[in-house]
Amino acid sequence: MIPAADLWLFVLACLVLVLTPGPNMIYLISRSITQGKKAGMISLSGVILGFIFHILMVSFGLTAIFMAIPYAYFTLKMMGVAYLLYLAYQAVKPSGKNFFEARTDLQHDKPWKLFTMGLLTNVLNPKAAMFYLSFFPQFIKPAQGSVLAQALELGAIQMCVSFTVNALIIFSAAKMAGFFKRKPGWVRVQKWFMASVLTGMAVKMAFTKAK
């Protein structure tokens, strides 16, 4: 089993990463603003099912990698560091957009289409795949037991964090979009804060040794 201290650190990491801009968040905010909270939640249910797809693929893949390649941890760790630094740059680059600049021209779709679009948005989301592949290994230690069981445990936690945060965003999307539009200075604060946290996580990850 994964130690409690590592799990709390993983929860914090999930919280930071779910708040970084990406296809899932843009789609959910856009749907919530244009078609209402119910449409946003239906779309979120599809997104969550997409997470299950990624979790199963990566969990079985990591099990095979750890068993076949003794030094896989270092390679995957460097991928995680590079990915976090990339996200930090994306947060503050001059051409970056505020993730609450959502589309308002979407058509009103039926529930099944909302669910399907949420599912496909996540299944085809490279951010989700990279997160699982590069970040999970930092918290998985073969000495702590089954790699598969640890990966599934982390996946369940990540889904809970993602669902909770995205649900809160869905129910407050319109108000938050209005707030950031009236106070653009807070957008810069949010971007630099997020970039600082991501950079700090990357540095910590780079100097973390396998146990």
Domain containing 93: what range?
A: 4-206
Mean pLDDT of 151-164: 92
- Most confident of the ranges 22-36, 70-84, 196-210: 22-36
In a domain, 187, yes or no: yes
Residue 91 has pLDDT above 60, yes or no: yes
Number of domains in the chain: 1
Mean pLDDT of 173-181: 68
Question: What CA–CA distance (Å, rounded) separates 75 from 98?
Answer: 32
Residue that the structure tokens 């990491």 belong to = 13
What's the alpha-carbon Rg for the chain, to the nearest Å? Answer: 18
For residue 39, give the nearest of 113, 95, 104 by alpha carbon: 113
Mean pLDDT of 13-40: 81
Residue 106 has pLDDT above 80, yes or no: no
Question: What CA–CA distance (Å, rounded) separates 124 from 50?
Answer: 9
Which residues make Cβ contacts (< 8 Å) with residue 77, sequence separation at least 6? 137, 138, 205, 206, 208
Amino acid identity, position 195: A
Q: What is the mean pLDDT of the chain?
A: 78
In a domain, 41, yes or no: yes
Residue 105 has pLDDT above 80, yes or no: no
Q: What pLDDT is attached to residue 165?
A: 92
Residue that the structure tokens 């709390």 belong to = 8
How many CA atoms within 13 Å lie on the side-chain side of 88?
16
In a domain, 35, yes or no: yes
